[in-house]
Structure 1
Amino acid sequence: MKSQNANLQRPASKPRLLTAAICALASSSGSLLLPAAAQAQLEEVVVTARARSESLQDVPSTVTAFTAGQIDDMGIQRAEDFISQTAGVSMINTVETGDSSLSIRGLNGARDAETNFALIIDGILYVNTYAFNREYADLEQIEILKGPQGAQYGRSAAAGAVIMSTKRPTQETEGELKFSFAEDNTYTGLATIAGGLSENVAGRLTVDYRTSDGFYSNSFLNDDVVDNQENYAIQGRLVFDPTDTLSIDTKLRYGKSESAAIAFNAGFAIPSFQAFGTPGSEAFYQDVNDHDFIFSNNVKPDNQQDVWEFSIKADWQFDWASMTTWMAYSDTEDSFIADGTSGAFGFYNGTEACQNTLDALAPSYTPDVPGGVTALPAPTFIFGSAPGAAVLPPYSPTTCDGYQYQERFQEDISFQIQFDSPADQALRWQAGAYFLDIERYQAVSQALDDGTNWPNPSGNTPQEIFSPLTDAMVNDTFDTTVLAVFGSFAYDISDRIELSVAARYDREKREATNNVPSPADGNFSNFIDFCGGQCTLDGETLPASPLNPGFVNFDDFTVASEIGKRSETFDQIQPKVSLTWDVTDDTTVYTSWGVGFKAGGFNNAGSTEIVDFYLVQNGGALVAPPVLFEEETSSAFELGFRSALLDNTLNLNGAVFYTEVDDMQFFEFFVGPFGLLRTASNIDEVTLQGFELSAQWAMTDALRLDVGYSQVDGEIDKNSLRDYTVGNEVPNNPEFTANAALQYTQPIGDWEMFGRFEYSYKGDTYYHTVQDDIVPATLFGGPPANYDVTKVDGFGLANVRLGLRSMNWSITAFAQNVFDEEFIAEVILAPEFGGGFISPGTQRRMGLEVSYNF
């Protein structure tokens, strides 16, 4: 086995092993036509997947890697730019700026719980879920590991890991300026400069900026406030090398983002409502893939995020080992305000503001009226302005929806120390310890829209969450403390066989403290009266209803403070065993087995009681989500191969995998008269199995082809929350994913012309455990809702880049989604609501990018 950089080069040879597999792949792709002569060779890729530098060929896991040259060729700026070219991985990001989620081989990340993958940037583990979805500057390499990596990276690496390396400053002065402009008033900018500051100190300063009007517009406000965004970040880095054996790396970053949020329309699945015969009623049962998106809410959404990050990392080299220690700190404040969902229940219909807006908009609800005021989202129809005379979707142009407001603040600090043996010995080992402390504050409130300055509230700034307008809320502080120890060894049984054993023990303590005040704690003029004015405590009538409806059992009222602090501790040993065999100098076969782990946690206080009263006791076909959702554990087996063929011009890789998951964490969205709830629950038992193939081919000196394909079959074996979903597919798991990229380069004097065509395909996808099921729409009186119209059809996206570059200059024309494919980005179902919330995908965007480096 080869573990040092100096030993990474492999002799060129042409083994006959796997020739049949190569021919089969060439035949199936239709593109792999062998050239008469291929002069170029693929570069050797060195990765840090196991926290030490080694050849990608030697890693006993499936890894997709992008080198610095590929990152530049692909124009990677954000995570979605490389996820689309990674087989077996898909990404959604629809609710707000930082609310992204990855599916890796069918293992999902549950919103409001933990991420399902470890994010490592320059050797430091980032635990804030918001850290992933942002601009990336100065990238040098990206590695995506698939399958559980908990033995190496801990409790957040159940599905895999994303490892990024950025350009380290040196004594050589260098810099870059990059600008791009594209459709939709989309502009980006990047400026970076690096170099020596003294004999032993080098630094880098980077600033990036992005702004866009987005793809969609609000037809009621006549403004681009649906998916617009503006963000910037400033990052400084200092590297201090006081001796030949010690290096200290310090980074400080501040990022700010302001954008829209909740770019959704409602999608209903209630066939019986079509019998109304009223114009617009046909939309109550409609395939989500046929939905015509209209955004016409009267509230301008506003999502604001501020992020501070600081880290310091030290590397010491000793004769017997090396030691790496680091500390990382992160502080994120994220909030958004948007139109609410309550209009669908007529909740605010009795208010004067609601009735006034219904009267003003009545003509535009009737499709037969010539010159209607504005197009409105379906299904919408109105019988009059009296309470109960309108059927409205969420996010309507009326004030009848109210506001929804959310705050999520997180502060975390972590430490790690790790020892590594020298890499040039037969027995290589690692050992270390890790500490993490997280404080996360999460609150969601519903508030009355009193119609002030309707239809465009002045400024639309987020309201104080405890303002007199607040009607309902959940509000908790979650504290997490993690202690872990880990170790591994890799032993060369022979020149061609390596045995690797790793294990990690994580102990995680979770605490939750409720922050919702009782009515006695303040003078709240709550519109919602959950007790009909008769909320009592110790026989005394309370002056107001509780802000959290979960604190009312309609006979008595529980003071928030009596809930107290909830606490639970989770722990798990995460082993991984791998065997790697160099069958020839150019072909490696590996197998591994490992355990993945994600700690459990608490939902917002009151969530269980709210769902139980409104959605279970009223005839819902589910069990209320637990106060405490369980830890998720998985057992994964993989068998794979890597080969460098045809004189190292073709790499062919493949793997089969099988995973059993216990208590898979799953995000549930509940909506009703109580406002909305975001909860995490568990799917008791899940089975995932599939295979993956990929190839990289230097067809000629000028032409390179990269292809990948992954198929994952996931099935729900047991689901106590919704027992009727057993046998359904695992949610947010595409039927298959495929990608291909063709890169062409041609020297022209001192310049080089280059062109790149990328294509990615995401197969049919369900986003909820409820699929071809018929479930009572509890909130509408129990009519059957048929969810066979909620599967998102597969779609393919193509990107093109074409340009010229020299040693210092580059000019590139690009087109994203060049064929303007229409697709659905996500469907968030709320089954008891009788439907869900649909978000559209991106549209075509063309632009030009210019860069200068020195």
Structure 2
Amino acid sequence: MNSNVRIQPNIKPVAQAIAAAMAFASAAVSADNAIEEVTVTSQLREASQLDTPTSVSVLDAAAIDTRGATNLEQLLNLAPNVNFSSGASRGRFVQIRGIGERSQFIDPVNPSVGLIVDGIDFTGLGLAASTLDMQQVEILRGPQGTVYGANALAGLVSMTSNAPSEEYFAKVSAEAAHYGSHTLSAVTSGPLSEQLSYRFAVQNQQSDGYVDNRYLDRADTNNIDETVARGKLQFKASDNLQLDFTLFYLDADNGYDAFSFDNSRTTQSDQPGHDRQETLAGAVNLQWGGNDQFTVHSVLSAANSDTEYGYDEDWSFVGFHPWEYSSTDNYLRDRDNLSADIRLVSTEASRLFNDSTGWVAGVYLRTEEEALQRNTSFTSQFDTDNAALYGQLNTALSARLELITGLRFEQRRADYNDSLAVVSDASEDLWGGNITLQFNASDEAMVYATLSRGYKAGGVNGRIISASASNPAIGSDTFLFDTESMLNYELGIKGDWLESRLQAQVATFYQDRSDVQAKQSIFNPQDFSFDDYLANAASGHSVGVEAEVNFRASDALQLFATFGWLNAEFEDFISSTHVDARDDYTGETTLVDLGGRDLAHAPNYQLFTGAEYTLTDNLSARVELEGKDDFYFSNSHNEKSTAYELVNARLTYREDNWDLSLWGRNLTDEVIYTRGFYFSNQFGNNPANGYAPEAYYQLGEPRTAGISGSYTF
């Protein structure tokens, strides 16, 4: 089905309300009430967000606190054209501008969206994205081919926690909410000597979840149980040398029991699943300025993560199906990665071309080993090595015009083998970069135009190779998939006006993708299942707009809004997987032209807006509206989420050393679909309706409310 009709959100009243509030409240504002400047740290050179020539959202500690977020997934709806997929206890995978993985089962995944936390690579490990004691979260949209390479075709999420403080500091926080939810956290920081300071934070979060298991008579089979600890040491060895050490630990023992036959929050699983992760990771960040020609910035990181993901495949109990069918699936993964990034940054003394050009030169090395055990019958090993050289030139063409050019060459080697005797040894050379013109139109506004190139490595389809021995329909043309590349054309404007009380940024983009990697499946008549593999669609494109506005309307009122519009489609893509939910499925391969169809998890619009009002010197109120268009769950069927708008509110009372908040999310109790599947008549799941074709959904958070507070010593 090629659906080009879209129901547009009724955002006109919201826009009118904001405009009216701005007109009403933009009276005299104190000079010290200007919006604070935010610094982007994830680029080759640190710069103000409004001076960074790329589309980036920066969420600081205040935004995280007022959101009440304990994990990255609770922040993503604040950024335009950013989505995430569930299918687990939390959203593990992120999509930016319609591009990104949505799940991982047997085969390895080459990521489209990177996740870096304090310099440590946690791509694909969403449980590690805790917001405990987080300074800020940066969400960069568009390919980051110069700075981050192969794991950032669509964009990057970079999270930075707070640094050790120069003065003693301690804080304890607690929260209690519906569904047996409670969170306890503590932070302490301060100097150990004139040169050495520390920071330590720990948190435990527990929740029964919002699913009731009727068969087991339990309300905690979809629970959250996470303990996070982070320690930091900052050593100022001399005026020219600083070393920052980070140690991170995560122990997550979450449940996963989300699907029911009536699409409710009441399940019947006799063997509920789980979503577990234990991670120990560390990083050393070095900054050295002992040479008048350049400074050195380097990060060395290592991480070990053991994950276990499993679920009840039949969603029921023995005896529910007439032939007493019962099955579970379980995936144990052990991932180790080690990376080093060493960067030289020019000083004023080493600028090139008559002092017009600053430069950056770097080398990047990364090795990762991933071992998989599926149930007791299948094992695999996937090892990758990446080595890259990169550089950037910042050339002042005039007093207001700057040319930025970046280039990255990367070599990647990947070795795969499994217990079914599939062996692959591949290497490839990759490249990406950017050309940007940045024009400071005035002291308040900056305009930029960018052409950037990103890439994602090719690979091997181990599962489909193994299945080919018993399925003659599988040809050798499905065994491998090629590298994907993308050109991103972007034009943007950023600025702050009204004595820095109004900050805004708008970007429009067009993305041209080549050899798009897309999941496909082939029916296996031996066991009535589908074997998944990655194939390359000819091409695809995305076009869209992203806008963010922050306005200090008065001393008491602050208004904020973000909006994203996106049209992301395949071009010339003939799918062998697609199943129409309105047709009977015969088990035969059906070829469907998906050209012009929206990509999965690519809503046409997203919005977030709201206001925060200071009622008294101690009391403030905040209200938010967030919304998202419907989107396809998969490229293999036509099931969609529903469009929604959520209302959130928060009332906060603050004193000098403590605060207390009452909050509510999804106050109108909207039903949200976060994951969806379609079962055809060949693979029906419910004997109550004769195994008729039916769609099933995982539901998002219902209306919930709670109380939180903190005390600072």
Aligned equivalent of 2:188, options 180, 188, 193: 193
2:299 corresponds to which residue? 326
1:313 corresponds to which residue? 285
Q: Secondary structure at the match of 1:65?
A: strand
CA distance in 2, matches of 1:234, 1:701: 37
2:4 corresponds to which residue? none
- Alpha carbons 1:625, 1:681 under 8 Å: kept: no
1:117 corresponds to which residue? 113
CA distance in 1, matches of 2:619, 2:177: 21
Cα distance 1:212–1:493, how it changes in 2: closer, same or farther (>3 A)?
A: same
CA distance in 1, matches of 2:694, 2:512: 30
1:436 corresponds to which residue? 366
Q: Secondary structure at the match of 1:793?
A: coil
CA distance in 2, matches of 1:341, 1:509: 39
Segment drifting more, 729-738 vs 679-688? 679-688
Q: CA deviation at 1:310?
A: 1.3
One-letter amino acid of the structure 2 residue matched with residue 647 of structure 1: E
Give TM-score, length-normalised by structure 1: 0.73
Q: Secondary structure at the match of 2:253?
A: strand
- Alpha carbons 1:138, 1:167 under 8 Å: kept: yes
- Alpha carbons 2:114, 2:123 under 8 Å: kept: no
2:673 corresponds to which residue? 824
CA distance in 2, matches of 1:759, 1:679: 39
2:340 corresponds to which residue? 415
Do structure 1's residue 572 and structure 2's residue 434 form an aligned pair?
A: no
Q: CA deviation at 1:414?
A: 0.8
Q: CA deviation at 1:183?
A: 0.8
Do structure 1's residue 850 and structure 2's residue 702 form an aligned pair?
A: no
Equivalent residue runs for 1:273-312 within 5 Å = 291-312=263-284
CA distance in 2, matches of 1:835, 1:727: 26
One-letter amino acid of the structure 1 residue matched with residue 177 of structure 2: A
CA distance in 2, matches of 1:798, 1:66: 20
CA distance in 2, matches of 1:566, 1:705: 54
**Structure with the greater relative contact order (CA < 8 A, sep ≥ 6): 1 or 2?**
1
CA distance in 2, matches of 1:177, 1:665: 46
Cα distance 1:212–1:53, how it changes in 2: closer, same or farther (>3 A)?
A: same
Equivalent residue runs for 1:222-621 within 5 Å = 222-261=217-256, 263-265=258-260, 291-317=263-289, 318-341=291-314, 357-358=318-319, 385=322, 387=323, 400-422=325-347, 426-445=356-375, 465=376, 473-514=377-418, 516=419, 560-561=420-421, 563=422, 565-603=423-461, 605-610=462-467, 617=473
Aligned equivalent of 1:638, options 490, 496, 502: 490
RMSD value over aligned CA atoms? 2.7
Q: CA deviation at 1:29?
A: 4.5
Q: Deviation string for 1:247-294 (max 9, x for gaps)?
A: 11111122111111252246xxxxxxxxxxxxxxxx8xxxxxxx4454
One-letter amino acid of the structure 2 residue matched with residue 839 of structure 1: Q
Aligned equivalent of 1:731, options 596, 600, 616: 600
One-letter amino acid of the structure 2 residue matched with residue 80 of structure 1: E
CA distance in 1, matches of 2:548, 2:232: 36
Cα distance 1:38–1:478, how it changes in 2: closer, same or farther (>3 A)?
A: farther
CA distance in 1, matches of 2:224, 2:62: 29
Q: CA deviation at 1:96?
A: 4.6
Equivalent residue runs for 1:203-222 within 5 Å = 203-222=198-217
Cα distance 1:482–1:727, how it changes in 2: closer, same or farther (>3 A)?
A: same
Do structure 1's residue 62 and structure 2's residue 55 form an aligned pair?
A: yes
Q: Secondary structure at the match of 1:215?
A: coil
CA distance in 2, matches of 1:485, 1:698: 43
Q: Secondary structure at the match of 2:146?
A: helix
CA distance in 2, matches of 1:671, 1:137: 45
Cα distance 1:744–1:70, how it changes in 2: closer, same or farther (>3 A)?
A: same
Q: Deviation string for 1:702-747 (max 9, x for gaps)?
A: 1111111111111111225435122211111011111112112244
Is the strand fraction higher in 1 or 2?
2
2:568 corresponds to which residue? 714
Aligned equivalent of 2:540, options 642, 662, 686: 686
1:745 corresponds to which residue? 614
One-letter amino acid of the structure 2 residue matched with residue 401 of structure 1: S
Percent identity at matched positions?
Answer: 23
CA distance in 2, matches of 1:199, 1:820: 53
Cα distance 1:836–1:405, how it changes in 2: closer, same or farther (>3 A)?
A: farther
Cα distance 1:28–1:81, how it changes in 2: closer, same or farther (>3 A)?
A: same
- Alpha carbons 1:324, 1:417 under 8 Å: kept: yes
1:652 corresponds to which residue? 504
CA distance in 1, matches of 2:477, 2:553: 54
CA distance in 1, matches of 2:674, 2:502: 34
- Alpha carbons 1:342, 1:675 under 8 Å: kept: no
Larger of the two Rg values belongs to structure: 1
Cα distance 1:117–1:606, how it changes in 2: closer, same or farther (>3 A)?
A: closer
CA distance in 1, matches of 2:310, 2:388: 38
Segment drifting more, 678-687 vs 576-585? 678-687
- Alpha carbons 1:200, 1:240 under 8 Å: kept: yes
Cα distance 1:220–1:342, how it changes in 2: closer, same or farther (>3 A)?
A: closer
1:763 corresponds to which residue? 629
Cα distance 1:67–1:135, how it changes in 2: closer, same or farther (>3 A)?
A: closer
Cα distance 1:678–1:414, how it changes in 2: closer, same or farther (>3 A)?
A: farther
Q: Deviation string for 1:518-552 (max 9, x for gaps)?
A: xxxxxxxxxxxxxxxxxxxxxxxxxxxxxxxxxxx
Cα distance 1:37–1:154, how it changes in 2: closer, same or farther (>3 A)?
A: same
Q: Which runs of 5+ in 1 are unaligned?
A: 1-23, 267-282, 284-290, 344-353, 362-381, 388-398, 446-464, 466-472, 517-559, 772-786
Q: Secondary structure at the match of 1:32?
A: helix
Q: Deviation string for 1:305-334 (max 9, x for gaps)?
A: 211101111110132221012211111111
Aligned equivalent of 1:32, options 13, 19, 39: 19
- Alpha carbons 1:26, 1:32 under 8 Å: kept: no
One-letter amino acid of the structure 2 residue matched with residue 120 of structure 1: I
Q: CA deviation at 1:127?
A: 4.3
CA distance in 2, matches of 1:43, 1:703: 15
Q: CA deviation at 1:753?
A: 1.1
Q: Secondary structure at the match of 2:179?
A: coil
Q: Deviation string for 1:393-432 (max 9, x for gaps)?
A: xxxxxx5122212112111111111011137964221110
1:108 corresponds to which residue? 100
Segment drifting more, 157-166 vs 291-300? 291-300
- Alpha carbons 2:87, 2:103 under 8 Å: kept: no
Cα distance 1:96–1:747, how it changes in 2: closer, same or farther (>3 A)?
A: closer
CA distance in 2, matches of 1:36, 1:706: 14
Cα distance 1:807–1:666, how it changes in 2: closer, same or farther (>3 A)?
A: farther
1:351 corresponds to which residue? none
Segment drifting more, 812-821 vs 828-837? 828-837
1:369 corresponds to which residue? none
Cα distance 1:174–1:625, how it changes in 2: closer, same or farther (>3 A)?
A: farther
1:800 corresponds to which residue? 649
Q: Secondary structure at the match of 2:75?
A: helix
CA distance in 2, matches of 1:624, 1:712: 36
Do structure 1's residue 695 and structure 2's residue 549 form an aligned pair?
A: yes
Give TM-score, length-normalised by structure 2: 0.87
Segment drifting more, 154-163 vs 481-490? 154-163
CA distance in 1, matches of 2:451, 2:679: 36
Q: CA deviation at 1:149?
A: 1.0
